[in-house]
């Protein structure tokens, strides 16, 4: 079942025991393997070993660390097909998307390998004679991460790469539903020369147990989390005791806005990639559509024509563009939101069938009002609820009416409107005439209850560095 070429990527697999975790393929509900779990005392031993390893690693030069990270990148790309297959088997996304994620995940290794060479300090003009002032940047120490199932590889490398590049040790907890591809990527890190004690992935049936150890351990200096706002709140509270630095990439409720002056074909292309990629299970996915009254019917017709071309099925099969969602619970929750919207007056313009297994029918809902539950909640599924608007002012109020502030998208060709709306949207990221904004070179992160901190870009490295101020006194000249 796990037929891949490079068998070393499966070194994490064990014969089932009472301390193992079983991994299920969401496309078939079949168990595809078992991996060992780590107890609390084993995780504490891993932290102690990471502490020792980091004392050596922090003394290496950024250039030496870059050589290893670049080798790791090359190994990931050499094993792109195998890693993608593993990801599709445990997560469900179509193989082409899995391959894309492997490349996206690997891109963080190159980016941070290069960026760490530019972790510059500063000199500061002294206000007092006989002194010189400067700053340096140093690794924060042991960094930990807890990641979700929707991007099993990229969310690990987006955090591990800056940590290792900065000179930190890294301990991650992948999602229990999708640890295989992350563990395979860790195996490639060791083959590239990353010391085993420096980079470890741990799992336990109880994610909250791992979370508590990470948050409460005094030698751990950083926690980076990607996942729901609900769990982000718990982790931030738990980190308070040790005043740990945190990065939080949490839930979103992205508006996708089309003004009357938009290029509609461009908007539909952006909507398809933003809404239906990964079966809608992306924190930056368009969650709710606001379309100007004068182009509403035209937009719906064009979008329907494109959604009708999607093919739902097992992500390993040729031609499949929408895989299963992560499990049947997720499917039921999405179908509950669709039914709730219909009960509140929405119309199913396309799709809406209840499918078997963990599959969700790509759906378009019209006659949707801003106050419906489907607009207020994160759908995390291939469903596009479409609201009409007629004034820019009303639109901005509706777009910002959420506790979330991660991604937002709008389409317009009017330069005045583009600047005004881009500035008025209360979001960490704005796609303007663009539906796919993620890249390793730009700062990814939200405002409001979508989180704290940035990943990728030059800012992503600073999350793993501490700035130290040096004051040189008693100088004669």
Ligand X SMILES: NC(=O)C1=CN([C@@H]2O[C@H](COP(=O)(O)OP(=O)(O)OC[C@H]3O[C@@H](n4cnc5c(N)ncnc54)[C@H](OP(=O)(O)O)[C@@H]3O)[C@@H](O)[C@H]2O)C=CC1
Ligand Y SMILES: O=C(O)CCCC(=O)O
Indicate which single residue of 141, 172, 227, 315 sits in contact with ligand X (rule: CB under 6 A): 227
- 251 makes contact, choosing from ligand Y, ligand X, none, with CB < 5 to 8 Å by partner type, with ligand X
Structure tokens at 169: 């040790």
- Which window, 71-79, 145-153, 200-208, 353-361, contacts ligand Y (CB under 6 A)? 145-153
Name the minimum Å distance from CB 238 to ligand X: 8
- Residue 290 in the binding site for ligand X (CB under 6 A): no
Alpha carbon distance, N-terminus to C-terminus of the chain = 73
Write out the E strands in 158-219.
169-173, 199-201
Q: Quick check: 231 and 225 in contact, CB under 8 A?
A: yes
Name the minimum Å distance from CB 336 to ligand X: 12
User: Could you confirm whether 378 is annotated as catalytic?
Assistant: no
Residue 430's closest CA among 129, 421, 439? 421
Indicate which single residue of 9, 283, 364, 396 sits in contact with ligand Y (rule: CB under 6 A): 283
- Which window, 26-34, 44-52, 67-75, 248-256, contacts ligand X (CB under 6 A)? 248-256
- Residue 453 in the binding site for ligand X (CB under 6 A): no
- Residue 408 in the binding site for ligand Y (CB under 6 A): no
- Residue 162 in the binding site for ligand X (CB under 6 A): no
- Residue 457 in the binding site for ligand Y (CB under 6 A): no
β-bridge mates for residue 34, sequence order: 22
- Residue 247 in the binding site for ligand Y (CB under 6 A): no
Q: φ, ψ for residue 379 (rounded to 5)?
A: -75, -45
- Which window, 175-183, 288-296, 417-425, 465-473, contacts ligand X (CB under 6 A)? 175-183
- Which window, 110-118, 144-152, 208-216, 459-467, contacts ligand Y (CB under 6 A)? 144-152
Please tell me what DSSP assigns to residue 293: G
Which residue, 25 or 150, is less far from ligand Y as judged by CB?
Answer: 150
Which residue, 366 or 450, is less far from ligand Y as judged by CB?
Answer: 450
Integer Cα distance of 415 and 432 in angstroms: 11
On the 0-12 / 13-18 / 19+ scale of CB atoms within 10 A, 140 is: buried
- Residue 112 in the binding site for ligand Y (CB under 6 A): no
- Residue 411 in the binding site for ligand Y (CB under 6 A): no
- β-pair type (142-146, 220-226): parallel
- 284 makes contact, choosing from ligand Y, ligand X, none, with CB < 5 to 8 Å by partner type, with ligand Y
Neighbouring residues of 103: CB distance < 8 A, sequence distance ≥ 6: 77, 80
Q: At what angle do helices 95-115 and 80-91 cross, to 10 degrees?
A: 120
Which residue, 19 or 138, is less far from ligand X as judged by CB?
Answer: 19
Indicate which single residue of 108, 111, 151, 410 sits in contact with ligand Y (rule: CB under 6 A): 151
Name the minimum Å distance from CB 421 to ligand Y: 22
Contact characters 152-171, ligand Y, x per CB under 6 A? ---x----------------
- 438 makes contact, choosing from ligand X, ligand Y, none, with CB < 5 to 8 Å by partner type, with ligand Y
Q: Which residue among 101, 115, 187, 249 is the active-site one?
A: 249
On the 0-12 / 13-18 / 19+ scale of CB atoms within 10 A, 69 is: buried
Per-position b or e across 31-66, b if 16+ CB within 10 A of its CB: ebbbbebbeeeebeebbebbbebbeebeeeebeebb
- Which window, 124-132, 279-287, 363-371, 391-399, contacts ligand Y (CB under 6 A)? 279-287
Three-state SS annotation for 372-404: CHHHHCCCCCCEEEEEEECCHHHHHHHHHCCCE
- 228 makes contact, choosing from ligand Y, ligand X, none, with CB < 5 to 8 Å by partner type, with ligand X
Name the minimum Å distance from CB 155 to ligand Y: 6
Radius of gyration of the chain (CA): 23
Structure tokens at 257: 């806005």
On the 0-12 / 13-18 / 19+ scale of CB atoms within 10 A, 109 is: buried
Which residue, 178 or 321, is less far from ligand Y as judged by CB?
Answer: 178
Instruction: Return residues touching ligand Y (CB under 6 A).
Output: 148, 150-151, 155, 226, 282-284, 438, 444
Instruction: Return residues touching ligand X (CB under 6 A).
Output: 146-150, 173, 175-177, 207-208, 211, 226-228, 231, 234, 249-251, 283, 378, 380
Which residues are identified as catalytic?
249
């Amino acid at each position: 079942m796990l037929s891949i070429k490079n068998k070393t990527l499966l070194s994490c697999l064990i014969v089932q025991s009472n301390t193992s975790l079983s991994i299920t393929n969401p496309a078939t509900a079949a168990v595809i393997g078992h991996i060992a779990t780590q107890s609390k005392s084993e995780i504490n031993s891993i932290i102690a070993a990471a502490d020792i390893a980091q004392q050596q690693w922090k003394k290496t030069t950024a250039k030496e660390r870059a050589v290893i990270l670049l080798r790791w990148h090359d190994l990931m790309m050499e094993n792109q097909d195998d890693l993608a297959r593993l990801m599709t088997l445990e997560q469900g996304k179509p193989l082409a998307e899995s391959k894309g994620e492997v490349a996206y995940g690997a891109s963080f290794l190159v980016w941070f390998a290069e960026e760490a060479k530019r972790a510059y300090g500063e000199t500061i003009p002294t206000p007092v004679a006989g002194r010189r002032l400067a700053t340096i940047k140093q690794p924060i120490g042991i960094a930990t991460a807890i990641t979700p199932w929707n991007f099993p590889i990229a969310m690990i490398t987006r955090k591990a790469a800056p940590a290792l590049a900065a000179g930190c040790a890294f301990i991650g907890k992948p999602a229990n539903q999708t640890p295989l591809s992350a563990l395979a990527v860790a195996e490639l890190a060791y083959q590239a020369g990353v010391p085993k004690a420096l980079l470890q992935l741990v799992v336990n049936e109880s994610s909250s147990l791992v979370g508590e150890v990470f948050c409460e351990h005094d030698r751990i200096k950083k926690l980076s989390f990607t996942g729901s706002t609900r769990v982000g709140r718990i982790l931030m509270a738990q980190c308070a005791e040790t005043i740990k630095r945190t990065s939080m990439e949490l839930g979103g409720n992205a508006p996708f806005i089309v003004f009357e002056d938009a290029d509609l074909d461009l908007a539909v292309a952006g909507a398809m990639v933003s809404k239906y990629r990964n079966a809608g299970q992306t924190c930056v996915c368009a969650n709710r559509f606001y379309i100007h009254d004068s182009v509403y019917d035209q937009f719906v017709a064009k979008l329907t024509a494109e959604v009708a071309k999607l093919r739902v099925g097992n992500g390993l099969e040729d031609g499949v563009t929408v895989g299963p969602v992560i499990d049947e619970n997720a499917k039921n929750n999405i179908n509950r939101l669709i039914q709730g919207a219909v009960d509140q007056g929405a119309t199913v313009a396309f799709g809406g069938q209840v499918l078997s297994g963990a599959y969700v029918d790509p759906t378009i809902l019209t006659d949707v009002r801003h106050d419906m539950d489907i607009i207020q909640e994160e759908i995390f599924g291939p469903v596009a609820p479409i609201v009409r608007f007629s004034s820019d002012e009303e639109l901005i109020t509706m777009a910002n009416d959420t506790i979330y502030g991660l991604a937002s998208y709008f389409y317009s060709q009017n330069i005045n409107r583009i600047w005004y709306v881009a500035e008025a949207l209360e979001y960490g990221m704005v796609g303007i005439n663009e539906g796919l904004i993620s890249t390793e070179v730009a700062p990814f992160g939200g405002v409001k209850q979508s989180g704290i901190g940035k990943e990728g870009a030059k800012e992503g490295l600073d999350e793993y560095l501490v700035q130290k101020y040096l004051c040189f006194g008693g100088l004669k000249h």
